[in-house]
Structure 1
Amino acid sequence: MLLKNALFSQVGIGITANTLLLLFHIFTFCQDHRPKPSSLTVCHLALVHTAMLLTVVLLASPDLFESLHFQNDFKCKALYYIGRVMQGLSICTTGVLSTIQAVTLSPSTSWMAKFKHKLMNTVTRAYVFTWTLTLASSGNLLFYIVSFSNLNQTNLMFLNKYCSLSPMSSLIRYLFYALTTSRDVSFVGVMLLSSVYLVNLLFRHQRRAQHLHSASLSPRPSPERRAAQAVLLLVGFFVVMSWMDFLITTFPILLSAYGPDVLSVRILVSNVYATVSPLVLLSSDGRVSRVLRNVQQVFTSI
């Protein structure tokens, strides 16, 4: 019950934060009429995390699961497949977002500057590639996720009260495992490289600015420093939680001890990033603080 309550609290905070992040950027679109690639990517990330957290709620709550008027086998396949696809898209979208920020802030003398004028087309192609790759790398779940009512086997791997994972051949298991792992490692590598490049640019810009302005004139951290700290926090937190999820998922499978307790802890860990990332993005965006100050002024005047 403690793990279940923690899970529902986590999901509630995550869905609320991602919804606020999405609505804020939609409100920004309506004002600017010129959506930026980074804003579109943040919206995509918020939608992915919202869908991922919703699947967690449906799978963790028997009442909500039974309220879906479909066969259990279809519900198990669809929900676990969607959840795995959204988890993969979370990794890919974070890597794309980090790369967009690095390209956007790169100086005109950098080799990355040539991508600025065609960044929107590049991002669109990245979306197509990541969706295709993620849908394909999770395809095995459509065949091997089953409901308990359909198969009466004793060697099924427990997933929840209604769903389980049927045995698969070693070739299929290691093929999809290698495909998923290579995808995740590749995008985490891209994320780290682009984030290191971005942080280096921000600190170089800050050092140049310190020669022109006295530090006493700006007691608060500069926007560049706040952005660098946000990138470091987001990427560092993502990498730590991803590897914790990887270790919790891999070792019980290798030891054939993937029980309900391990599964509950794994679900909590795998959804921490989806809950925390919108809070980091909201807190690091100066426009959010301005909107909140304006709202506060309105309520104060009333």
Structure 2
Amino acid sequence: MISTDLPWRVAFLTLIKIGLLGNSSLLCFYTFTLISGLNLRPVDKILNQLVLANCFVLLSKGIPQEMADWGLRYFLDDVGCKLLFYLHRMAREVSLSTTCLLGGFQAFKLCPLASKWMELTVRSPKSINFLCALCWVLSFLLNVHVAVKVKGADRSQNTSMGKAFASCMAPSTSIVTYSLLSSIVFFIDYVLLGLMIWASGSMVLFLHRHKQRVQHIHSHKVSPRLSHEDRATHTILILVTMFVLFYSISSIVTLHMALLLTPAKWLADTSVFMSLCFPTLSPFVLLSSDIRISKLWLAWLEKCRSFLFYVGLCITQGSLEDYHK
């Protein structure tokens, strides 16, 4: 069920390259910010974990899919196949739990009744470190069954990468056990999705009430703190909405494939495409909304402009000296 059509090849190639570029850029920025402590925000640790999980999703899901599309020969053994799928499921779960944590963080931060509690607990570095580590630990434990049920293809056969990649998903457990484990995973996933929807509703309600309060103020000046909170709320709300949308579509397509005896190729391609949309698009939402990155970009452009001006001045002076000689 691996597509060989050129449009799907181009689509996957574009998504993977753009996504890796955006996430790696943000990962370098957030890592430098965490190490240096310059303009560090409490939410930066959560965002750093999100872009790291996005990188793992693109590498573990997108790269094998791209190799399969181009008909490359199979090179993974049974252990490599288990690690590949385990890494993908764990990174996907970390991305889900981190996005939920990000939405809940902002929702509690905006809640008037929980503001004091947020200042003392959730916004503290130790609490954020614990919650981020908890996302990885729970994802690690929740997907242990993947390493057990997944088997690699037979390398002795002349198998293409596409066929072998598809056979990596063959379950080695009974149908009852597989259904039970899948039900537990889906239940936890949709609980987290429900928390995301609750956080999104809370943020939308806050923005609506804040807009009504601002309308009663005759002056157009709003406090910088409120302006910053509004900007952060809009960004997180966009991220949460994107995740819920793409995850829901991917889940519906995957469920439809499971109910069919011979699902069409475009269903498999659509499921993979939707699973790659969020890790590809989310870093650009963060890049466009972070003022610190905009300032760095403007400073870099200013340095480039100054450098080009200096080079042009040197060339002009050299030409004048040659002319006088």
Q: How many Å separate the matches in 2 of 1:46 and 1:270? A: 15
Match of 2:26 in 1: 21
| 8 Å contact from structure 1 (residues 102, 194) kept in 2 | yes
Write out aligned runs for 1:256-267 (5 A): 256-258=261-263, 260-267=265-272
SS in 2 for 1:94: helix
One-letter code aligned to 1:268:
F
Percent identity reads: 25
Alignment-derived partner of residue 155 in structure 1: none
How far is the alpha carbon of 1:37 from its aligned partner? 3.2
The structure 1 residue matched to 2:114, chosen from 111, 120, 127, is 111
Q: Is the 8 A contact 2:203 2:237 kept in 1?
A: no
- Which aligned pairs between 1:97-176 and structure 2 lie closer than 5 A? 97-107=102-112, 110-119=113-122, 120-149=125-154, 160=165, 163-166=168-171, 168-176=173-181
Do the aligned partners of residues 297 and 91 (structure 1) sit closer, same or farther apart at CA in structure 2, a change above 3 Å counting?
Answer: same
One-letter amino acid of the structure 2 residue matched with residue 118 of structure 1: T
Q: TM-score, normalised by structure 2?
A: 0.78
Does the Cα contact within 8 Å between 1:10 and 1:275 map onto a contact in 2?
yes
**Post-superposition CA distance 1:221-248 (Å, at most 9, x none):** x555444432332222211111101011
Question: In structure 2, how many angstroms separate the alpha carbons of the residues matched to 1:254 and 1:175?
Answer: 17
CA separation in 2, counterparts of 1:189 and 1:137? Answer: 19
Q: Distance in 1 between matches of 2:74 and 2:186?
A: 34
The answer to whether the 8 A contact 2:153-2:167 is kept is: yes
Report deviation, 1:255. 2.0
Question: Contact conserved, 1:59 with 1:160, CA < 8 A, in 2?
Answer: yes
* Structure 1 partner of 2:254: 249
Match in the other structure for 2:311: none
Question: Aligned-residue CA RMSD in angstroms?
Answer: 3.1
Once the two structures are superposed, the pairs formed by residues 182-261 of structure 1 within 5 Å of their partners are 182-212=187-217, 214-215=219-220, 223-258=228-263, 260-261=265-266
Is the contact made by 2:33 and 2:39 (CA closer than 8 Å) also made in structure 1?
Answer: no
Q: Which residue in the other structure is 2:57 paired with?
A: 52
Listed one character per residue, the Cα deviations across residues 105-146 of structure 1 (whole Å, up to 9, x for unaligned) are 443xx1353132122333333334332332233222212211
TM-fit CA distance, 1:293: 1.8
Distance 2:182 2:196 in 1: 21
CA shift at 1:207, angstroms?
3.8
Q: Deviations over 1:252-302 (max 9, x none)?
A: 112233565432221111110011111111112222222222222222222
Distance apart, 1:200 and its partner CA: 2.8
Q: Distance in 2 between matches of 1:151 and 1:181?
A: 35
Distance 2:217 2:171 in 1: 65
Q: Provide closer, same or farther for how the CA distance between residues 167 and 255 of structure 1 changes in structure 2, counting only shifts above 3 A.
A: farther
Deviation, 1:162, is: 6.2
2:80 is matched with 75
Q: Which whole-Å CA distance do the structure 2 matches of 1:30 and 1:195 have between them? A: 31
For 2:164 and 2:115, the matched residues in 1 are separated by 45
Q: How far apart, in 1, do the equivalents of 2:222 and 2:82 lie?
A: 59
From the superposition, tell whether residues 173 and 51 of structure 1 become closer, same or farther in structure 2 (CA, over 3 Å). Answer: same
Judge conservation of contact 1:76–1:145 (CA < 8 Å) in 2: yes
| Unaligned segments of structure 2, at least 5 residues | 1-5, 158-162, 308-325
Quote the Cα distance in structure 2 between the aligned partners of 1:121 and 1:65: 46
The structural deviation recorded for 1:16 is 0.7
Match of 1:91 in 2: 96
**Mapped contact 1:206–1:225 kept (Cα < 8 A):** no
> In 2, distance between residues paired with 1:57 and 1:217?
44
Q: How many angstroms apart in 2 are the aligned matches of 1:64 and 1:35?
A: 45
Give the aligned residue type for 1:78.
L
Name the CA distance, whole Å, in 2 between partners of 1:283 and 1:7: 23
Structure 1 residues without counterparts, runs of 5 or longer: 153-157
SS in 1 for 2:165: coil
Q: Which has the larger radius of gyration?
A: 2
Is contact 1:159-1:165 (8 Å) kept? no
The normalised TM-score by structure 1 is 0.83
Query: Structure 1 residues 98-107 or 85-94, which shifts more?
Result: 98-107
Distance in 2 of aligned mates of 1:180 and 1:196: 24
SS at match of 1:160: helix
